[in-house]
Structure 1
Amino acid sequence: MFSEQDGRLPSATMPTPAQGMTRRHFLERAVALGIGGSAALAALNACATPGSAGASLTFWNLFGGGDGVRMEQMEDNFRKSRPDVQLEAVTLSWGAPYYTKLAMAAAGGRPPDVGVSHMTRVPLYAANNLLDSFDLDELAKVGITEDRFLPDIWKRAQYNGKLYAIPLDTHPFVMYYNVDICAKAGLLNADGTLKPLEGAEAVMDAFKRTRQITNYLGLAVDTQDVTPWRIFYSLYSQLGGEVLSADGRQLTIDNAKAIQALQFMSDLTQKEKVASSTLDYAGAVAAFGSGKAAFHWNGEWEVSTFLPQKNLKFNMVPLPKVFDLNRAQADSHAFIFPHQIQVDPAQRKAALEFIAFMLKDSLTWAQGGHIPAYLPITDSTEYKQLQPQSNYADAAAHAVVDPIAWFSGSASELETQAGSAFQSLLAGQFTPQQALDQFTGAINKLLKITPPF
């Protein structure tokens, strides 16, 4: 996600309340973070409300659905293990509402003790002085050290040589497959696992063979939202392509590689018709869940949807290597310290102990599909026996995250613009070149905007 030896984002200074943090400053920061003015004002007013007195550890997150259930279970486990620490956990709406309030709380000097962030958001927040860095010595005291994480994910947690995030997981784009349909198509090994699918021809052939069995789809995939970006970025990265320069200021699209990736996407819905051009997210999940498609491309988090379905026999693997490299679009959830004007040593110590506990309890988190970042968990026998979740654990080492820029990251303008361009491609309204032209045109417009920070 981000390594800061080359200074990809300009440093920024943020006026603290002691320096006169005005409503105008708040709104300027809101623009820098892609937040609407009305939302920023609402968050500012919320942050100005006095908090309750007394010592307690506050934790903000954005987890709903199955993730929310598992996070609450982990929070309860912490409370049982540490009755001396009063944990107040707050769940806010996913996406812009969460990041709005988090940014305004940190800027206004009333942040939670611990927060959660997508790692793709960390560089921007660190650049705007909205995060406190972690003390490596203090982390080591609670068992959090570099050697207990994959090198790349630890590197992405840094900005300007300091650690600003503690990775909780990796959540990659993966492939689900219907065991019964794939067996009928002759795609399984003797042990019932999927035979390796490598190369565009082999992958497309598997989709075509299974479509003949389902009489509907070989691949169920969302073509309406941001999923088209995840497909493109995975395939384009498999060709070794990059979207932006290291400093996030120049478009570096390799046209030939981008067209190759987009042509494969177009073939899925137009030439070969193994996927539908009209399925939205819910429709794609439903099509796979009901046995109308043999394969499903999505984030691994939908494992929670499919496991309770008794009539569905499925398994999961990393996204196939359609082109040259093992790559799949991904992001990570991570724990952060929103910036505090004054740090209470006892509070900070409790916060570190809380984060350490959550990492060590992340086998619970893994049940929802996310790959734990803490290696003592992913290396454990218990995790390896967790099926089908552990079957795609290798995807964490091949994750490719969204390029770093002020308009990029999870739930960002980059993903929105890409989704719009590539939806039209999948719908047959654009050629690969037209889709690429719309995407690059939108990104070039964003690049011409001077980053407000």
Structure 2
Amino acid sequence: MMRNEMSRRRLLGLGVGLGTAATLALAGCGGDEEPSTASGNGGKEYTGPKVDLKLWNGFTGGDGDIFKKLVETFNAEHGNIAVAVTTYQWDDYYSKLPGAVSSGAGPDIAVMHMDQLATFAARGVITELDDVATALGLTEADFAPTVWAGGLYNDKRYGIPLDMHPLGFYYNKAVMQKAGLDPEKPPTTRDDYTAALTELKKSGVQGFWVSPFQFTGGMTFYSLLHQWGGTLFDADAAKATFNSDPAVEACTWLVDMIKQGHSPANVGQDADYLAFKAGKNAFNWNGIWQVNDLKKSPDMQWGVAPLPQIGSKPAAWANSHNFTIVKQRSANADKVAGAKVFINWLSQHSLDWAAGGQVPARKAVREDAGFAALAEVNALAPELEYAAFPPAAPGIGEVLLTFYSSFNEAALGKKSPKQALDDGVAKADKQLADNRKKYGN
């Protein structure tokens, strides 16, 4: 499970560079459109001839089974639309998609993370969806503003958001209780957190293991940087800013967790989470996707809550799955119309998707009593209002890798936090400049 989970997560916040050949080939996609007999633009309905649609996604875990069941339900309800699902590991998925589209073998619908939309939009892989939002009357008011804005690139909509998956705060109730802490009152502030770690240390427990890897230490630093009031990039994503004073303070706070003995040094990949499950630490900052894994351990006493506010304001790393429609060599208006109906239908049925460990993007679904019954997932819904999403800039994922690598050097003690972040920003600025040349922005 852990190897599978790691593979499917690797690109959950990362971008994949596409070759020049693929870029040039994709620029020629979207030829003459075949005549349409479909009615009901924008996903309201489809009354044309039967269409077979290909859908690609990267849901290889338990969420994949839930997703496939939803597609089966859709197919049963729509006799003239048949959606076939193909699932890849996320790291394979994003590398396969450009070549498949340029060769005419791509899908009709693709699920993408928010931070991938700008890259694939800039390279002409996916098509605009403003008409879907207009026809269905969807506005920012129907979603959290941060999620809705994340589907835009150059003021045009390319993604219809399905969900939000944030970092959450997991706490081991049994370990807390042994240290004399109230297991039903996890720390919510910096003072509470410091006090709890002190008590845990007295009981012989290193309460908060700091991973030097993106999963999960890098994402923890990403969250704390925003809590301290910093940003990774300037407003135009033209310059890196993750070596600002707030960023250095946030990174130093995390590195000090190791120096003060609240975390071992050189924590291995996922060792923080495995230690949490084994009762060797008390607190783990990890993704919402771990909720269903923890439910498989009925004897474990655990809880989940929004991240503690360590800095001056609440913030949490987050990403979002979006539906996109892929450009074709020869566009088929019937298929496009059918794809829009599917996207709208699944967005409306995202309560069922929430059971896979995702916060629904649609406000009406989050307010449904059925979502309230999903106690652990619902516990992280408040983070939607202050989620720190990646900027909508082409190629940004590659720059984020530099950010996470900088934190890795600081957490492993190879460089001071200031030096690691300064060096990372110097490299990131060059990457951002290269991206502007590559994508023409």
1:367-424: CA deviation from partner (whole Å, max 9, x where unpaired): 2321110112111111111121111110111111224444323xxx223222322222
Identity %: 30
The one-letter code of the counterpart of 1:255 is S
The alpha-carbon deviation at position 427 of structure 1 amounts to: 2.1
SS of structure 2 residue aligned to 1:121 = helix
Q: Map residues 408-447 of structure 1 onto 2, 5 A cutoff.
A: 408-409=396-397, 413-447=398-432
For 1:169-188, what aligned pairs fall within 5 Å after superposition? 169-185=163-179, 187-188=181-182
CA distance in 1, matches of 2:339, 2:64: 20
Once residues 371 and 263 of structure 1 are traced to their aligned partners in structure 2, the CA distance between those partners, rounded to angstroms, is 31
Q: Within 5 A, what are the aligned runs for 1:30-429?
A: 34-35=17-18, 55-95=51-91, 97-136=92-131, 138-139=132-133, 144-185=138-179, 187-188=181-182, 193-199=184-190, 201-213=191-203, 215-253=204-242, 255-270=244-259, 272-409=260-397, 413-429=398-414
CA distance in 2, matches of 1:111, 1:441: 37
Structure 1 position 196, deviation (Å): 4.8
Q: Deviations over 1:69-99 (max 9, x none)?
A: 222222222223224422111112212x211
Q: How far, CA to CA, are the matches of 2:378 and 2:181 in structure 1?
A: 21
Give unpaired runs (5+ residues) of structure 1.
1-31, 48-53
> How far 1:246 sits from its partner (Å)?
2.4
SS of 2:264's equivalent in the other structure is coil
Q: CA deviation at 1:286?
A: 1.2
Return 5+ residue gaps in structure 2 as ranges. 1-14, 30-49
Change (3 A) 1:78 1:143: farther
Change (3 A) 1:279 1:367: farther
Q: Secondary structure at the match of 2:94?
A: helix
Please tell me the root mean square deviation across aligned C-alpha atoms, in Å. 2.7
Deviation at 1:35, TM superposition (A): 3.3
Structure-2 change in CA distance of 1:185 and 1:143 (3 Å) = farther
Q: Which moved more, 1:356-365 or 1:169-178?
A: 356-365
SS at match of 2:90: coil
Q: How high is the TM-score relative to the length of structure 2?
A: 0.83
Match of 1:25 in 2: none
8 Å CA contact 2:210, 2:257 repeated in 1: no
Name the CA distance, whole Å, in 2 between partners of 1:312 and 1:37. Answer: 50
- Distance, in Å, in 1 between the alignment partners of 2:140 and 2:231 is 27
Aligned length: 401
Q: What secondary structure sits across from 2:171 in the alignment? A: strand
Comparing 85-94 with 217-226, greater Cα deviation is found at 217-226
Cα distance change, pair 404–140 in 1 and its aligned pair in 2 (3 A) = closer
| Correspondence for 2:32 | none
Is the contact made by 1:226 and 1:415 (CA closer than 8 Å) also made in structure 2?
Answer: no
Inter-CA distance 348–405: structure 2 relative to 1 (3 Å threshold): closer
Which segment is superposed worse, 437-446 or 287-296? Answer: 437-446
